Amino acid sequence: MRDSNLLEMVQAHIAKCGCDLGLDDNVLEILCSSARELAVSLPVRMDNGKLKVFQGFRVQYSDALGPTKGGVRFHPDQNLESVRALAALMAWKCALHDLPLGGAKGGVICNPKELSKGELERLSRAYIRGIRDIIGPHKDIPAPDVSTNSQVMTWMMDEYSKIMGENVFGSVTGKPLFLGGSAGREEATALGGWFVVREAAKEIGLELNEAKIAVQGYGNVGYHSAKLAPGFGCKIIAVSDSKGGIISEVGLDPEAVRKHKSKNGSVVGFPGTKTISNEDLLELDVDILIPAALEGAITDNNAGRIKAKVVAEFANGPTTPEADDIFGKEGRHVLPDILCNAGGVIVSYFEMVQNFDMWQWDESDVRKLLDKRMVKAYGTVMSASREYKVTMRQAAYIVAFKRLVETMKARGWV
């Protein structure tokens, strides 16, 4: 999918829901533009002694509800438009889940697979130096996303702390536990998604015991969704990464697949499995399909052939608007990204609260609080879907926009 399509998709949703809610033009104009965008050039000394300049971005889409929050993505296909679209999704997500946070996103154009550990560290630090003026625990708090992890977050926090001359653990989230991270953050996006899937299964009468699952993408979100599946009674039969997919009707051992991937660079070739393409994986006869890779995986080319009863969007923007229309006509139960994958930002919010208090909560408390929030959000979106007679995605946007508009009106912005 072209990156600009993600932005077009976000804009199309704004227009559609604006219409459903009868929003006036002033409100729509604010919702259609990002509040602040910063593009930075990042000179990094490479291992061969030469200097390479990378391009980075930080977009703060809306701070109506509070300091902005969103991940940083290191990827070769990044650009300002895709970061803007992802920042908008963060703003809707935080509003939908009633968090006192606005939405932001960051990105650096790079191929992390080609960087040494030292180069990755210097790039992470250079990015923070580039955006230092617009971030901070009360302004904008970066977090992990595609190809960034707790180590990258630690370098970023350390660099920000050096600039400020004091430890500012709350400057990023997704840190390791021993540096002010929250218990349960690594698995939070996937676990939050599973809580929503559990609610959806109850709603549509789908038996989760032995339900067959296919997961696209085997990074942070994909791996944890596979690992958590047995806890919800489900069986992972297929997974994939950027190099291809694997299937085993008897079920996969997620931990063994992860070990195979870290040793061999891909899930492909895992003993006892058949190799399939990424396209095949999406069209398998499974109960639940979990896209957990990148945007634009499900298009009008393949949506009609998808057999899963539930499509749970653990990734951001995996379904194009055209594919969404097909799902809408079929009445397929789609759990939209801003509803389904908010576990990461919710536990990041918990991490912020713990950092402000200089305290750490038990994992069981984190899980309980996350569960409660995901159940509430699913129920709210389901009710809006019935009330407005719209799909779950439109309903999620409606709930988010209502909250944002109410806040902007109260603040005298519109």
Q: Which is nearer to ligand NAD, 31 or 191 (by Cβ)? A: 191
First-to-last C-alpha distance (Å) of the chain:
35
From the list 105, 175, 227, 235, the catalytic residue is 105
Q: What are phi and psi of 241, to 5 degrees?
A: -140, -165
Q: Smallest gap, in angstroms, from Cβ of residue 50 to ligand NAD? A: 27
Q: How far is CA 159 from CA 85, 119, 165, 291, 348, in A?
A: 27, 15, 10, 34, 19
The token pair that represents 149 in the structure block: 């992890």
341 in helix, strand or coil?
coil
Residue 102 or 144 having the CB closest to ligand NAD: 144
How far is the C-alpha of 69 from the C-alpha of 135, rounded, in Å?
Answer: 10
d(CA 310, CA 204): 9
Minimum distance of ligand NAD from residue 234's CB (angstroms): 19
Residues lying near ligand NAD in the complex (CB under 6 A) are found at 144-147, 189, 216-222, 240-242, 278, 292-294, 314-316, 341, 344
Q: Measured from the CB atom, is 23 or 115 closer to ligand NAD?
A: 115
Least CB distance to ligand NAD at residue 394 (A): 20
- Closest distance between ligand NAD and the C-beta of residue 168, in Å? 21
Residue closest to ligand NAD (Cβ): 219
Q: Compare residues 184 and 344 and give the one whose CB is closer to ligand NAD.
A: 344
Give the span between the Cα atoms of 135 and 51, in whole angstroms. Answer: 26
- Please say which residue, 23 or 306, places its beta carbon nearer to ligand NAD: 306
How is the beta sheet containing 244-247 ordered, strand by strand? Answer: 274-276, 244-247, 235-241, 212-216, 288-291, 310-312, 333-335
Dmax over Cα atoms in the chain, in whole Å?
62
- Between the alpha carbon of residue 379 and those of residues 301, 324, 330, 388, 404, the distances in Å are 32, 21, 22, 14, 19
Q: How far is the CB of 165 from ligand NAD (least distance, A)?
A: 30
Question: How many other CB atoms are found less than 10 A from the CB of residue 134?
Answer: 15
Please say which residue, 351 or 408, places its beta carbon nearer to ligand NAD: 351
Q: In 3D, which of 69, 70, 71, 37 has the Cα closest to residue 55? A: 37
Residues 85, 70: Cα–Cα separation, whole Å: 12
105 is catalytic: yes
Rounded Cα gap, residues 414 and 409, in angstroms: 5
* Between 189 and 273, CB nearer to ligand NAD: 189
* ∠ CA 105-342-213, rounded to 5°: 120
Rounded to the nearest whole angstrom, what is the least distance from the CB of residue 217 to ligand NAD in the complex?
3
Q: What's the closest the beta carbon of residue 294 comes to ligand NAD, in angstroms?
A: 5
Residues annotated catalytic, as ranges: 105
